[in-house]
Structure 1
Amino acid sequence: MLNIGCHLSISKGFYKAVKEALSINANTFQFFTRNPRGGKAKELDLEDIKKSNELMEKNNFSFILAHAPYTMNLCSAKPDIREFGKNILKDDLERLKHIPNSLYNFHPGSHTGQGVKKGIEQIINALNEVIKEDIDTWILLETMSGKGTEVGKSLEELKQIIDGVKYNDKIGLCLDSCHLYSSGYDIVNNLDGVIEEIDNIIGLNRVKAFHLNDSKHELSSNKDRHELIGKGTIGLDAIINIINHPKLSHLPFILETPNDVKGYEEEIKILKDKYR
């Protein structure tokens, strides 16, 4: 079974988001833990979450993906922004204890001129401050395109972060097709080679989710511009190869294409029809 969904709003509750996912034949979805450009999170409605969990279990949902806000930057040059990011991370992980079968995804951060080495050091320090031995939620570093001063455009950078975290048993990766391609990993012509490289450097056992996007730009462009499935430089054939690859096909795939819910429904249908 193809585990596929898209990004949905939980502003009106988790139960409504699950119902919306079902209405477009999705069996997973992604949501922002709070306003993506802000900091304050809504109070959790535990009864709503309980109903949602029952509905997801009944319909064989895969893991759902909680996405940190873009304002969470653990390696900013400004100490107050780093502290703000750590507080978000702590709060999000505490809230996710109430949401079973959830994974937590975040952008490693932007070093804002300090250099990659310093950025990685600050990310490691933040994670070591927050993550305790009894962590029960997988925390996923998202593979990045390399625009601006982003950290995490290479597997080597992500490995440094993982290796630096003391309790890293639950630190994994969320692959992003647009980001991988834009940062120089040729998933169009050499998918097997890219998968082998991920396994050799980090380990496929740490890959827990996949953002499925086409790209508006060419290989190695270092630009983060998502495109509709089959309408970009990655193309439909390459994306079909990704969802059918025996080492990836079990993952929850999340569409982040520039689409509305109706458009996501159409993309889900296309991909389900191509899933073998």
Structure 2
Amino acid sequence: MLKIGSHVSFSGKGLLNAAEEAVSYGSSTFMIYTGAPQNTRRKAIEKQFVEEGKSVMTEHGINEIVVHAPYIINLGTYKDDKFEFAVRFLQEEIRRTSYLGVKNIVLHPGAFTEKDVEYGINRIAEGLTLVLDGVKDTEVNIALETMAGKGTEVGRKFEEIAQIMDKVADNRKLTVCMDTCHLHEAGYDIIHDFDGVLEQFDQTIGLDRLAVVHLNDSKNFSGAGKDRHAPVGAGLIGFEAISYIVNHEKIRHLPLVLETPWISKEKGKERPMYAAEIALLQGDVESRLGGDFLDHVERLEFFFRKHEVDPRDFVVKTWEVLKTDAKAKKEDGREPIERLYDMVKEERLLTQLSEEEVNHRLVGWFASKQILHS
């Protein structure tokens, strides 16, 4: 069985809340931050309802989860005080991860800021060496995440991650987290040649180092280097390509984690698409979401086909306008799902459903060629 889940909240009752939220989406894995990703405030890990959370995980067959390190850790900085903080704080996060019994903590390698990429690679390797030297009593791996190339971040190319690893004397606890949005925006052709990308990864780093995959569609075209996630199918990677990745024989055994955005036309009422995305990628929509879900997707397909709207073409053309025509974007900056939702409401289709439920069915419509005609 595939291990597909999402990023979930660790607030409130810690691991218990996280596990229960993950189960509500139909997850078979999940990812957490052990505290807010943008600050240092942390509750004692011993008070985070760990055993209760593990009990829920066991009950629902979840046997592997992932921790993500805070964004405020930057091992690439040239400022000594910030570097020392990054090393110390990452060590603390690794100890918290170890207490949870989790084997991989995902880390953005770092940014070189006012220096250059060579400096960044060397500085990150120096930091990782110090970090690992201070947590030898744990079994936690640091999974370096492939990055999109935004700003001065390091890790946009496999070669950069390989160089970091090579410069860490004892690198046995270094693994890799592959992010689909980041790969796409870094210029890797995961849409048409994911096999080739995996081969390049294997030759440069080694597939034995691949430990986690982040599943995200992208709001940008290949090579944009901006790191903007989209719901599965609503971006420029597309459902078909992400489904191929999920089911790839060299990927499918790993924890596959969604970090797709929560959406709503009304600010403050955003909701996740995780339940629909997980069911679609698992290939068990009817058993998870019910026959009515498929009936609704079929109604949407009939409606959009009548108006000559193709899922993939519509998404690509909408993003083309939003990315290349500043005037059109200013006049109508609605993203693909927003536009489709407005068409559905104007036609008074599925009026018995909430906005969240309609959006779930629109995500299903992006995959309609696979789930209705397979």
- TM-score, with structure 1 as normaliser: 0.95
The alpha carbon displacement at 1:59 in A equals 2.3
Aligned to 2:34: 33
The alpha carbon displacement at 1:141 in A equals 0.2
The alpha carbon displacement at 1:57 in A equals 2.7
Alpha-carbon distance in 2 for matches of 1:248, 1:184 = 20
Aligned to 2:314: none
Amino acid at match of 2:159: E
The 8 Å contact of residues 3 and 62 in structure 1, kept in 2 or not, is answered as: no
Q: Show CA shifts across 1:208-250 (max 9, x none).
A: 1100000011111111110110011100100010011100011
- Structure 1: gaps of 5 or more residues: none
1:184-263 mapped onto 2 (5 Å cutoff): 184-259=187-262, 262-263=272-273
Aligned length in residues: 276
Aligned to 1:125: 126
Amino acid at match of 2:276: E
Alpha-carbon distance in 2 for matches of 1:34, 1:105 = 14
The higher radius of gyration belongs to 2
The alpha carbon displacement at 1:62 in A equals 3.9
The alpha carbon displacement at 1:58 in A equals 3.3
Amino acid at match of 1:68: A
Amino acid at match of 2:127: A
Q: Show CA shifts across 1:56-88 (max 9, x none).
A: 233221421111111100111322211111111
Aligned to 1:2: 2
The alpha carbon displacement at 1:101 in A equals 3.2
Q: Show CA shifts across 1:168-226 (max 9, x none).
A: 11210000000001101100011110011111111111101100000011111111110
Aligned to 1:88: 89
Alpha-carbon distance in 2 for matches of 1:88, 1:203 = 28
Taking a change above 3 Å as real, the CA distance of residues 47 and 120 of structure 1, as seen in their structure-2 partners, is closer
Amino acid at match of 2:152: T
- TM-score, with structure 2 as normaliser: 0.71
The alpha carbon displacement at 1:33 in A equals 2.5
The 8 Å contact of residues 135 and 170 in structure 1, kept in 2 or not, is answered as: no
The 8 Å contact of residues 10 and 35 in structure 2, kept in 1 or not, is answered as: no
Q: 92-101 vs 4-13, which deviates more?
A: 92-101
Q: Show CA shifts across 1:115-169 (max 9, x none).
A: 0111111111111112135541111000000111010000000001111112211
Alpha-carbon distance in 1 for matches of 2:58, 2:101 = 10
Q: 120-129 vs 265-274, which deviates more?
A: 265-274
Alpha-carbon distance in 2 for matches of 1:195, 1:179 = 14
Q: What is the percent sequence identity of the aligned residues?
A: 40
Aligned to 2:279: 269
- Structure 2: gaps of 5 or more residues: 263-269, 286-373
Amino acid at match of 2:140: T
Q: Which has the higher contact order (CA 8 A, sep 6+)?
A: 1
